[in-house]
Amino acid sequence: MTSRALFFLLASLGIFHLWLNALLPLGVDEAHYALYGWYLEWSYFDHPPLIGWLEAPAVHAFDANWAVRLVPIALGLIVLWQLTALARDLFPDTPSMAGWVLFLALLSPLLHGLTLTPLPDLPLLLVSILLVRWLWRHRHDERLSSAWMLGLLMGLAGLSKYTAITLVVSVALVMLLYGRWRWLRQGRFWGAVALAALLLTPVLYWNALHDWASFTYQLHHGTKHADWSWERFAISQGRQLGAYGPVLYLAGVALAVWTLLRWRSTPEGVRFLWLFAVPVWALFAWSSGHEPILPHWTALGWWLFLPAIAWWLASRRWALWLHGVLGGMAWIGLLHVVMTGAWAFKAPHPLLEVAGWEAASERLHSWQKRLQTQSGVKIHQFAGNWSLVSRPAWYLRLAEDPQVFTADGKLTQFDFWFGRPSAGSRGVVLWHSYFDDDQSPAQKGLFKRCSLLESQPVRWRGKDLQATFRFYDCEGWKRGQR
């Protein structure tokens, strides 16, 4: 693929993503990380701060929903550009590598989706690709030159997401397999370590101020069950197969195993990428046995192994075209649903999770003001859990009372922003039937008593999505003590 063709493709993709941005309301994670940018901190409870710092200029400058995706759309295009450069670096003798890598990425539902979604994974991915390219260029160097770049990239990775810990393992594997342990005796290497540590001081500072809350949360996150279960592991693998596409998933697993079994005869580029992908997969394979993982948690491994998969499938064109057909059908189906709202299957509507939240949030605030005026007592705003709080917290950020609390009482980032009402408090609770079934907050044990104020159907393009927003007047909040 020529530079001109690549530029035209990425420019066209950027226009397409801006069009999608105008159509789609915000998802749970998008609103959550937009709030990172709105309420700037040194770091945050569930993730390091870089995605919030990157979001801040756009959400404050434009103060509009469409501004939330501007930074990730730009970052996504840079990621794709750098991914093609990585593919050319590692596989210079394979024709059309850049084109095949983009073909695989853009027709994989989750990989494509990540290029326009504000997640901590996106800056981590960009920094990781740059790190892999830097290490590839210096893998044979006896003396470590431009070591500051190593420190900068590792520090930025740590500011992006805690998954960056796998990059430490990968760098150690590169040093081991390429005999670069002499780097440890060079002052430049330790200067790079010091630079990375310096960049991580905001995360350490925030945690020190908050009893190491983020580190404690991460150590227990993904280990819900003490025992390790093959069933939970299989559920996680099934989710990845569907999210990344069966061809990409099966080819990646097969190539990873094949590389391990035939290490010496495998091309160096494949082996090098294996050193970065497998630590990510191994970490979450272990974690998934304790608690099923979300598919995007392993995205770093899939992205970094993508050039190797493209190289392997370049001689298996039938698999590439099968991936294209399946991915194309998925995109056509999604666009049809977005444009028309039509959905003919028994499974939940794919837009059920994002539709109607702005109007529901405004209704929540309206009920809060009405009840507060009528009763003369403080009425708080609640939603079921953190994933339900993020949308109203975003849409009400400029309201007279922007505070929205988690009804389930679990410790979340919202506690650090808004504090927490006292036990026994009264509030209006926003409930979503798809997430919280047909029980009221009181029946869930979150409040002593609740009365239904109103129920509204969830709609998209005028079509009922077979779910409802419900608004409850609840008294006696139990503050998570059921």
pLDDT in tens, 256-281: 999 999 999 999 999 999 999 999 99
pLDDT for 480 beyond 70: no
What is residue 246's predicted lDDT score, i.e. its pLDDT?
96
Residue indicated by tokens 């999770």: 353
Give the whole-number percent of the chain exceeding pLDDT 70: 99
For 34-85, write each residue's pLDDT tens digit: 999 999 999 999 999 999 999 999 999 998 999 999 999 999 999 999 999 9
For 319-334, write each residue's pLDDT tens digit: 999 999 999 999 999 9
What is residue 3's predicted lDDT score, i.e. its pLDDT?
85
Of the two residues 379 and 219, the one the predictor is more confident about is: 379
For 369-389, write each residue's pLDDT tens digit: 999 999 999 999 999 888 899
Mean predicted lDDT score pLDDT of the chain: 94
For 157-180, write each residue's pLDDT tens digit: 999 999 999 999 999 999 999 999
What is residue 438's predicted lDDT score, i.e. its pLDDT?
78
Give the whole-number percent of the chain exceeding pLDDT 90: 88
Contacts 24+ apart (CB under 8 A), 166-175: 166/276, 166/279, 166/280, 166/283, 166/300, 167/128, 167/131, 167/276, 169/279, 170/275, 170/276, 170/279, 171/131, 171/135, 173/275, 173/279, 174/135, 174/139, 174/272, 174/275
pLDDT-derived band at 222 (thresholds 50, 70, 90) equals low
- pLDDT (mean) for 419-447: 90
For 96-130, write each residue's pLDDT tens digit: 899 999 999 999 999 999 999 999 999 999 999 99
What is residue 308's predicted lDDT score, i.e. its pLDDT?
98
What is residue 237's predicted lDDT score, i.e. its pLDDT?
96
What is residue 351's predicted lDDT score, i.e. its pLDDT?
93
pTM beyond 0.85, yes or no: yes
What is residue 140's predicted lDDT score, i.e. its pLDDT?
93
